[in-house]
Amino acid sequence: MTQPYSTVNPSYLADRPRRVLLVPLDPVHDIGLKVIRRALNAAGHQTMLLPPDRTLEEVVRAASEYRPEFTLIGRTVGYGTAELLGRLADMMEAAGLRPATKLVIGGMAVRDGLAAELGFDACFGPGTTPEMVLLYIDGKSPRPLSGTAAGQAPPRRRDLTAGFGYQFRHEAIGELAHTVASQTLSWAAGRTSPGVERAELRRAILDDPAQAGRNRELYLELCDEPVRLAAKEKSAPEHTRYLTAHEESFLSPERAYAAPERSPLSGPEGKPTVFVQYGTGCPLMDAAHIQAVRQWGAGGVVHFDPSWAARTEGLPSGLLSHEHDGTVVTLENLQALRRAAGPDLLWQVRAHRGLNTPETVLLAAVAGADLTKINIAYGSLGAGTEPSRLTVDAYAAMTYAARYGLPFDVVTNEELSGVPAHKAMAGMLATVAMGVALGGRPVLQPLFCYSPEVMLGGQMADNYVDFNAAKVMALRQIIDAPIWPGAPVGFLTQTEDRVQSSVSTALHAALAACLGVEAVTIASADEAYSGGAITAAARLDTLTAAAEAFRFFGQSRIEPTAAATRWASEMVAGVEDVLTRVARVGVLPEAIYAGLLGSPEEGVYPGRAGRGTVKARSR
């Protein structure tokens, strides 16, 4: 069944008009082709729709007169389908219409196998959207049957930062953020850490293989014992194992992944891009989950490694599976998962909260990532890294991100620990100002969640809309920058009921769409409570629910109440107050230790991982 169609996203407008003949090869059914014709016309194509119940001779005669570039055949009735379509293909060939006109079949009665066997160029079965057909007609879709898309350029992945200038709209906050950024950058530039030095050595290893042996020895001297021991014994580190040869075969560069059969989910005007987080611990399982969410409309995926990279000095190598939380960052794992993400999915590698931040950004860039994640305040307060260490590492990581053209998001997950939204935003904006000063392209990632702040303050006693909307409103008053709520949305609103969890996730995603943000990260239906593996089916639950929510709201809007405006103003004032006090202190690590960006009374403490490892750079 063809999905309903309303308006054309500008990204689907035709590069040039094509002549398209639409043929309902049924006694009465033509509604699907009518919807597709409407979309084609709106996109600028030239179309002719035949009435139902035409003979094959009448179809071929019409095609001979109209000379279409594409003939779209719709078939809903199942009986006699193979014989009828086979005869039509033969008659079109005999009339000299092939290969000038591409034959495309769609409808409830057809599948890829049948279409390929009969010589059709493409097949659109149940679940087809008009956008899928538009992309194919315009030569942008990977949907043609195997062997028919040779030479076709891969789809272009979206740049979430395009069109943003990063000017501070709030002059006072901008001056304060720049002051904090300047002071912190000057402080960090004169310091280094094992994480910074390992990244420099890793870059040297990649740039000059002839010197790799000596640089690898120096690298290992800066690593924790598990990494050194594994390298010495040529074995997998504790709690990991190398994939078997059979498992590796599924991740080899020769492995072909099926192209997505549906367009990426989005709200009006092609946004937000919907991201899904993965990190099962096993790259083979990750690849399977990536393929599942690709097929069900995700526009991006996020690599998640919160355990190894956060607390261990140094990264191992090889295709490794990990029994703890998240998938270990190795160059080989990342390269395999970039291939699994295909040419169409945006791919982010998180680097923001541990002892390997600079090297993770470097490896992400080498492996072909589109985005990364760097944040000083959250990583120091809610993720356990010592503030001075993470600030020095973040400086190096932002430099790599700018050098390799990787936008990075800055998240406010410290809200989950009890930090008020305005304090989390202040830390975010100071980090953003640092990134911009270094030539980077940061993305603001406010948290849509039922946080301790609102549990105690009652801001969500009536609804989940106003306080979350206020965050987006406040940030837009402050700076011209892309916004990507995460990570994922709906924290602490989902329950163990998969229906409730999916509905809550979908409504938060719909709110993000109605607010016009660039992207949104959604959880699976079981992510809120899973004590073990997250299932692929639960990921599809929330993707399906989000698709329905986007369709339900369309270009209409969720209207926040006056409380959202009031809370946005309070947040802006709070950000200015916090940054004023941070600027007086001087640099971010000192401000974090002073409790200005989150205090023990609010539930956060400066991290200790990497304590004592920062030193002055040698002249």
- Other Cβ atoms less than 10 A from the Cβ of 557: the count is 13
Residue 575, domain member (yes or no): no
The β-bridge partners of 409 are 373, 443
Is 101 in the same domain as 203?
Answer: no
Query: pLDDT tier at 263 (50, 70, 90 boundaries)?
Result: confident
Is 401 in the same domain as 509?
Answer: yes
Is 180 in the same domain as 235?
Answer: yes
Query: pLDDT tier at 151 (50, 70, 90 boundaries)?
Result: very low
pLDDT tens string 431-460: 999 999 999 999 999 999 999 999 999 999
Residue 279, domain member (yes or no): yes
Domain boundary among 117, 137, 157: 137
Does residue 272 have a cis peptide bond before it, meaning omega lies within 30 degrees of 0?
yes
- Other Cβ atoms less than 10 A from the Cβ of 328: the count is 28
Closest of 412, 433, 411 to residue 174, by C-alpha: 433
| Rounded Cα distance, 615 and 75, in Å | 71
The pLDDT, as a whole number, for residue 39 is 86
- What is the pLDDT averaged over residues 258-280? 82
pTM over 0.95: no
CA angle 418, 421, 422 (to 5 degrees): 125
Residue 595, domain member (yes or no): no
| Rounded Cα distance, 276 and 371, in Å | 14
Mean of per-residue pLDDT scores for the chain: 88
CA distances from 339 to 265, 291, 380, 543, 569 (A): 21, 11, 32, 22, 45
The β-bridge partners of 241 are 321
Phi, psi of 487 (to 5 degrees): -130, 90
Closest of 597, 310, 614, 568 to residue 430, by C-alpha: 597
CA distances from 85 to 93, 109, 128, 595 (A): 12, 11, 20, 72
**DSSP output for 147-158:** TS-TTPPPPPPP
- Other Cβ atoms less than 10 A from the Cβ of 173: the count is 24
CA angle 608, 609, 613 (to 5 degrees): 100
Residue 606, domain member (yes or no): no
What is the Rg, in whole angstroms, of the alpha carbon atoms belonging to the chain? Answer: 27
| Rounded Cα distance, 603 and 606, in Å | 11
3-state helix, strand, coil in the chain (%, to 5): 45, 10, 40
The pLDDT, as a whole number, for residue 6 is 44
- What is the pLDDT averaged over residues 402-412? 93
CATH code where residue 553 lies? 3.20.20.440
- What is the pLDDT averaged over residues 326-338? 91
Q: Which of 39-48, 172-181, 247-256, 503-512 has the lowest mean pLDDT?
A: 247-256
The pLDDT, as a whole number, for residue 531 is 52
Q: How far apart are the first and last CA of the chain?
A: 69
Residues 6 or more apart whose Cβ sits within 8 Å of residue 142: 149, 152, 154, 155, 259, 260, 343, 344
- Element containing residue 350 per DSSP (H, E): strand 346-350
Are the CB atoms for 290 and 301 separated by under 8 Å?
yes
| Rounded Cα distance, 46 and 50, in Å | 14
Residues 6 or more apart whose Cβ sits within 8 Å of residue 23: 33, 50, 54, 59, 62, 71, 72, 73, 74
* 359 has a pLDDT exceeding 90: yes
Is 128 in the same domain as 190?
Answer: no
CATH code where residue 53 lies? 3.40.50.280
Is 397 in the same domain as 342?
Answer: yes
- What is the pLDDT averaged over residues 393-404? 95
Is 235 in the same domain as 380?
Answer: yes
The pLDDT, as a whole number, for residue 1 is 33
| Rounded Cα distance, 522 and 502, in Å | 10
| Rounded Cα distance, 540 and 35, in Å | 26
Sign of CA dihedral 209, 214, 219, 220: positive
Domain boundary among 567, 589, 611: 567
Residue 512 carries which side chain, given as an amino acid letter? A
Is 100 in the same domain as 201?
Answer: no
Is 337 in the same domain as 440?
Answer: yes
Is 213 in the same domain as 116?
Answer: no
Structure tokens at 452: 């301790």
Phi, psi of 204 (to 5 degrees): -65, -40
Is 229 in the same domain as 284?
Answer: yes
Is 349 in the same domain as 461?
Answer: yes
Length of the chain: 619
| Rounded Cα distance, 472 and 300, in Å | 21
Query: pLDDT tier at 146 (50, 70, 90 boundaries)?
Result: very low
Is 186 in the same domain as 279?
Answer: yes
| Rounded Cα distance, 502 and 499, in Å | 5
Query: pLDDT tier at 25 (50, 70, 90 boundaries)?
Result: confident
* 528 has a pLDDT exceeding 90: no
**DSSP output for 419-458:** --HHHHHHHHHHHHHHHHHTT--EEEE-EEE--HHHHHH-
Residue in the structure block whose two tokens are 């991006």:
300
Q: What is the 3-state secondary structure (H, E, C) of 57-116?
A: HHHHHHHHHHCCCEEEEECCCCCCHHHHHHHHHHHHHHCCCCCCCEEEEECCCCCHHHHH
Residue in the structure block whose two tokens are 């002549």:
19
The pLDDT, as a whole number, for residue 152 is 41
Domain range for 60 is: 10-137
The β-bridge partners of 102 are 70
As separate numbers, helices (DSSP H) first and strands (DSSP E) second, the chain gives 23, 18
| Rounded Cα distance, 471 and 425, in Å | 9
The pLDDT, as a whole number, for residue 128 is 73
Does residue 343 have a cis peptide bond before it, meaning omega lies within 30 degrees of 0?
no
Number of domains in the chain: 2
Domain boundary among 567, 584, 601: 567
Q: Strands 273-278 and 320-322, how do they pair?
A: unpaired
Residue 181, domain member (yes or no): yes
Residue 464, domain member (yes or no): yes
Structure tokens at 295: 């097929």
CA distances from 357 to 36, 53, 235, 578 (A): 48, 64, 24, 26
Q: What is the 3-state secondary structure (H, E, C) of 385-426?
A: ECHHHHHHHHHHHHHHHHHCCCCEEEECHHHHHCCCHHHHHH
* 307 has a pLDDT exceeding 80: no
Closest of 576, 593, 583 to residue 182, by C-alpha: 583
Residue 401, domain member (yes or no): yes
Residue 97, domain member (yes or no): yes
